A and B are shown apart, each in its own frame.
Chain A
Amino acid sequence: MLEPRIIEKLKQIIGADNTATERQDLLCYGYDATQMEFLPDVVVHPANADEVSQVLKLANAEKIPVFPRGAGSGFSGGALPKGGGIVLVTTRMNRIIRIDTDNLVAEVEPGVVTEQFQEAVEKLGLFYPPDPASLKFSTLGGNVAECAGGPRAVKYGVTKDFVMGLELVLPTGEIIRTGGETVKGVVGYDLTKLVCGSEGTLGVITRIIFKLLPYPDAKKTMLAVFDSIDGAATAVSTIIKGKIIPTTLEFMDHATIQCVDRRFNLGLPAEGRALLIIEVDGDRDLIEKQAGQIHDLIKPLGLVQFRVARDAAESEQLWKVRRLVSPSLRDVNPTKYNEDIVVPRSKVPDVIRRIEKIQQRYDIPIVNFGHAGDGNIHVNVMIDKEIPGMEEKAHEAIKEIFQAALDLGGTMSGEHGVGLSKAPYIPLELSPVQIATMKAIKGALDPNNILNPGKMFPE
């Protein structure tokens, strides 16, 4: 419990209407998509960097933990107020400040919902490519803090590749700007990149300057079904070796296909063991040519079906196969642990084979799909909590899956971050010196460890 005088001070800074201490509010700001729950002591909704700064100054002086929060759609518990303290929500900071069509940059506040930003720039013929599956509800601040990525990462990269500069409130309350609006800039350390993916542990992001691109002329969607997982995986490297970088290369394994087909009957061929959804974008004539080239390149790889969408409606039909994955998973088992390992593209078949072995050994259903183009596989360990012992077994299996990814030169998380849920595993991937270096940075910026404590590093 916080002392009443602290709550009073917060109310003075943020306004009573924007400071919530009712139990109901606290309950509603204590969860995220991990389904873990912790109760904060107070929830504040600041309107600008100045208010954030005053909150952090107070918190730092009084040594009260502060947990930045966007939409709370995180998959690793980054926004959860473990241990209690102040939850600082960015929803009120939701203005798109400007979109500069001369320089192709935009400045936004962190609470803007990703899709709203995309729509706003697209109206001007511009393009903001990062597209996490949560784009309809997650915030840009959360995207930057988690360095969110999506299917278009193959060609365009992830959130950090579009962040040019930030306004950041440090844990001690100072407001700084990092980076800027110029394409080039080499003065000092690159603090912008450091903050991208820092999961709200180094500062509260209060402004973001994004780089934009022209909106691509046209796009083309294809669906390719293969008779083996190797066929699909080889197709990925073959296409890229053929000097075509598709916008997306989404992958579904046999278990996933079955899952979707069982429920929605999409008429996928029975001999299909894996499939790819391939999209190219750019100049209209060029993508027409590329679609032909892609077909020629992957034909010898055990291709059993190849569909090309002729228009937007057909493209939507093909994407539907992918979108139906999540809703059909629950038919396997009620609860899923969604891990998002990454391996080098060429190692996708190896990691899938290893996961199949793990699945057999633990006798737990595991469904894999994801962004084959960048080697990012969503490994869904499906459990039923009512079955005794299954949960524990699943955790063991997940640890082995992480190890498999690391053995193949990969990483434990490509999108979801470390947060609370992966903190215990971080020593699997990072050496003691690496961890110590990161902690030194954290310690320098946040001497009292008040900003999002308990996240990222094992306690």
Chain B
Amino acid sequence: MDPLKRVEKDLKKCVKCGACRANCPAFSAYQREPAVARGKVALAQHLLAKDIELDDQTYLTMSKCLLCGSCVEKCPNEVPTDEIVIAAREALAEQRGLATFHKAVGRVIRNRKLMNMGAAMAAVLGPLFFRRVPANSGLRLRFPLPFVGGKRHIPELARKPFMSRHPEIIQGEPGKPRIIYFVGCMTNFVYTEVGEAALALFRHLGCTVIIPKDQQCCGLPGMSGGDLATVKALAERNLAVLEKYEADYIMTACATCGGALHKLYPAVVGKKHPELLKRLQAVAEKTIDAAVLLQKLGFNPEATGAGEAIRITYHDPCHLRNRAITRQPRELLQAAPGVQLVEMEGADKCCGLGGTFNVYHYDTSLRINAGKSEAIRCTGADAVVTGCPGCMMQLSDGLKQGGARTRVLHTLEILARKLRQ
């Protein structure tokens, strides 16, 4: 079936009011109507009516979206532009074949062995993504893709992936909640300290933490490229893994993975494969962001004792913001002894990463990020804290390029700092 048929009803809901022009990072960067949600919806309508083609121009237009969901929040008519863009990208991929980059992404994230071995991944991805280069401050990784311009700062891969450091089940106290931890690639390979912090916090609460060895990439990079076949394959494998254990919650400390499990799995994969819908919904219902879960379980940041004084500012990851998770992390951070939270301007604005957007449109992504870095700098904070390892990478890149020394930390790292001493 034509993927756009799937969103036909949604396309009709748009009244062309233009409310989505406010806060669309793609529009703010390009300043052209085709880049805004309203334009993409209009073009999708014309694609469906077959009076425009799935040509280069469409490809370019549909690539100008960070899937941040800001338009969906602002839309008075509940038009799910993100799903529409995904459907359009899927239609493009079906007709034109996947772009080389996305083919590579698909190959890698589908390969269980590679995903289980960080070193191997680095080796395979090395030529494509990462190349170790000497830099003033030691080793660092950067994007060597020609269209990325070789400027990007990428954090070093962890020596040992997070998942291979821990057993599959870490038994907690009897009667306490059982939690499946859906780790996500960024945490597993790059920001392992986020995983350690999550583990410390939930163990502190006495929870049993299950870290299924067979968990896969959530598939969002594939979804963002319209490679729904890969996403489906991953979703099915993840379903099997997540259904294997009796658990009260599926916890994510990565906004993007959480968004995929909680929202996009049922909304996109479920719509395309109705036979999976029920199971996807069951997973979605159990999926909960770490900060929300901490609050739910009555975690009191004060109880862990005072940490060093630190002035922080908080960045709202799109995939938490668009699930209305903005209050909980702030409340937790404010309650942490020694932490002073100063709000930045536009904390809820996208950092510019946008799945694979930053690979295709790196300069634009940096431009969006520049505003963010400036806002962070203006707060005078020692660290910018957020709930998404993807954002962490993008924020670091922007800050480093601008020469700022601000640290980039995950909410859980702040909350767990006394526990992990």
* Interchain CB contact under 8 A, B76 and A73: no
With A31-B42, A115-B22, A326-B76: A25-B17 Cβ-Cβ less than 8 Å: no
* Interchain CB contact under 8 A, B52 and A27: yes
* Interchain CB contact under 8 A, B33 and A72: yes
Q: Does A32 contact B (CB under 8 A)?
A: yes
CB neighbours of B61 from chain A (8 A): 24
With A24-B61, A137-B18, A137-B19: A327-B76 Cβ-Cβ less than 8 Å: yes
* Interchain CB contact under 8 A, B17 and A73: yes
* Interchain CB contact under 8 A, A29 and B77: no
* Interchain CB contact under 8 A, B15 and A33: yes
| Residue-wise interface mask of A (178-212) relative to B, using a CB-CB cutoff of 8 A (1 in contact, 0 not) | 00000000000000000000000000000000000
Q: Does A48 contact B (CB under 8 A)?
A: no
With A72-B33, A330-B77: A28-B16 Cβ-Cβ less than 8 Å: no
CB neighbours of B42 from chain A (8 A): 27-28, 31
Residue of A nearest to B24 (CB): A137
Min CB distance, A67 to chain B, in Å? 14
* Interchain CB contact under 8 A, B34 and A28: yes
CB neighbours of B33 from chain A (8 A): 25, 28-29, 72, 89
A397 to B18, CA, bound (A): 27
CB neighbours of B20 from chain A (8 A): 137
* Interchain CB contact under 8 A, B17 and A33: yes
Q: Does B46 contact A (CB under 8 A)?
A: yes
CB neighbours of B18 from chain A (8 A): 32-33, 71-73, 134, 137-138
Q: Does B266 contact A (CB under 8 A)?
A: no
With A24-B57, A27-B46, A326-B76: A32-B16 Cβ-Cβ less than 8 Å: yes
Chain A count of residues within 8 A CB distance of the other chain: 30
| Residue-wise interface mask of A (69-102) relative to B, using a CB-CB cutoff of 8 A (1 in contact, 0 not) | 0011100000000000000010110100000000
With A33-B16, A35-B16: A22-B77 Cβ-Cβ less than 8 Å: no
CB neighbours of A72 from chain B (8 A): 16, 18, 33
CB neighbours of B32 from chain A (8 A): 20, 25, 28, 45, 91
CB within 8 Å of B: which A112-142 residues: 113, 115, 134, 136-138
A453 to B52, CA, bound (A): 28
Min CB distance, A163 to chain B, in Å? 23
Secondary structure call for the A interface: loop
Q: Does B43 contact A (CB under 8 A)?
A: yes
Q: Does A23 contact B (CB under 8 A)?
A: yes
| Residue-wise interface mask of B (6-27) relative to A, using a CB-CB cutoff of 8 A (1 in contact, 0 not) | 0000000001111111110000
With A91-B31, A115-B22, A326-B76: A27-B16 Cβ-Cβ less than 8 Å: no
CB within 8 Å of A: which B16-62 residues: 16-23, 31-34, 38-39, 42-43, 46, 52, 57-58, 61
CB neighbours of A23 from chain B (8 A): 52, 57
CB neighbours of A24 from chain B (8 A): 34, 43, 52, 57-58, 61
CB within 8 Å of B: which A29-49 residues: 29, 31-35, 45
A151 to B22, CA, bound (A): 20
With A72-B18, A327-B76, A330-B77: A28-B31 Cβ-Cβ less than 8 Å: no
A45 to B21, CA, bound (A): 17
A45 to B34, CA, bound (A): 14
* Interchain CB contact under 8 A, B43 and A137: no
CB within 8 Å of A: which B84-137 residues: none
A199 to B34, CA, bound (A): 24
CB neighbours of B57 from chain A (8 A): 22-24
CB neighbours of B17 from chain A (8 A): 33, 73, 134
Residue of A nearest to B60 (CB): A24
Min CB distance, B43 to chain A, in Å? 6
A94 to B18, CA, bound (A): 17
* Interchain CB contact under 8 A, A27 and B43: yes
CB neighbours of B74 from chain A (8 A): 136
A22 to B18, CA, bound (A): 21
Most buried by A among B16, B23, B58, B74: B16
A33 to B14, CA, bound (A): 10
A91 to B27, CA, bound (A): 11
Most buried by A among B20, B33, B34, B58: B33
CB within 8 Å of B: which A3-24 residues: 20, 22-24
A29 to B16, CA, bound (A): 11
Min CB distance, B408 to chain A, in Å? 27
A113 to B23, CA, bound (A): 11
CB neighbours of B16 from chain A (8 A): 31-35, 72
Min CB distance, B347 to chain A, in Å? 15
Min CB distance, A298 to chain B, in Å? 31
Min CB distance, A381 to chain B, in Å? 14
With A33-B16, A326-B76, A327-B76: A28-B21 Cβ-Cβ less than 8 Å: no
| Residue-wise interface mask of B (150-165) relative to A, using a CB-CB cutoff of 8 A (1 in contact, 0 not) | 0000000000000000
CB neighbours of A327 from chain B (8 A): 76-78
A45 to B31, CA, bound (A): 10
| Residue-wise interface mask of B (321-364) relative to A, using a CB-CB cutoff of 8 A (1 in contact, 0 not) | 00000000000000000000000000000000000000000000
* Interchain CB contact under 8 A, B22 and A137: yes
CB neighbours of B22 from chain A (8 A): 113, 115, 136-137
A73 to B42, CA, bound (A): 15
A72 to B21, CA, bound (A): 10
Residue of A nearest to B21 (CB): A137
Min CB distance, A278 to chain B, in Å? 24
A113 to B36, CA, bound (A): 15
* Interchain CB contact under 8 A, B31 and A136: no
Most buried by A among B19, B74, B77: B19
* Interchain CB contact under 8 A, A25 and B15: no
CB neighbours of B19 from chain A (8 A): 73, 134, 136-137
Residue of B nearest to A328 (CB): B76
CB neighbours of B43 from chain A (8 A): 24, 27-28
Most buried by A among B22, B57, B77: B22
A73 to B15, CA, bound (A): 10
| Residue-wise interface mask of B (54-75) relative to A, using a CB-CB cutoff of 8 A (1 in contact, 0 not) | 0001100100000000000010
A115 to B46, CA, bound (A): 32
* Interchain CB contact under 8 A, A71 and B21: yes
Min CB distance, A404 to chain B, in Å? 26
A to B CB contacts below 8 Å, 23 in the list? A20-B32, A24-B57, A25-B32, A27-B42, A28-B42, A28-B43, A31-B16, A33-B15, A71-B21, A72-B33, A73-B18, A89-B33, A94-B31, A113-B22, A134-B19, A136-B19, A136-B21, A137-B20, A137-B21, A138-B18, A327-B76, A327-B78, A330-B77
Q: A-side interface residues toward B, CB under 8 Å? A: 20, 22-25, 27-29, 31-35, 45, 71-73, 89, 91-92, 94, 113, 115, 134, 136-138, 326-327, 330
Apart from the given pairs A25-B32, A137-B21, A138-B18, 7 other A-B contacts in the complex at a CB distance below 8 Å: A24-B61, A27-B52, A28-B33, A28-B43, A73-B18, A73-B21, A113-B22
Of all A-B residue pairs in the complex, the 9 with the closest CB atoms, nearest first, are A136-B22, A28-B33, A137-B21, A73-B18, A28-B39, A28-B34, A33-B17, A137-B22, A31-B16
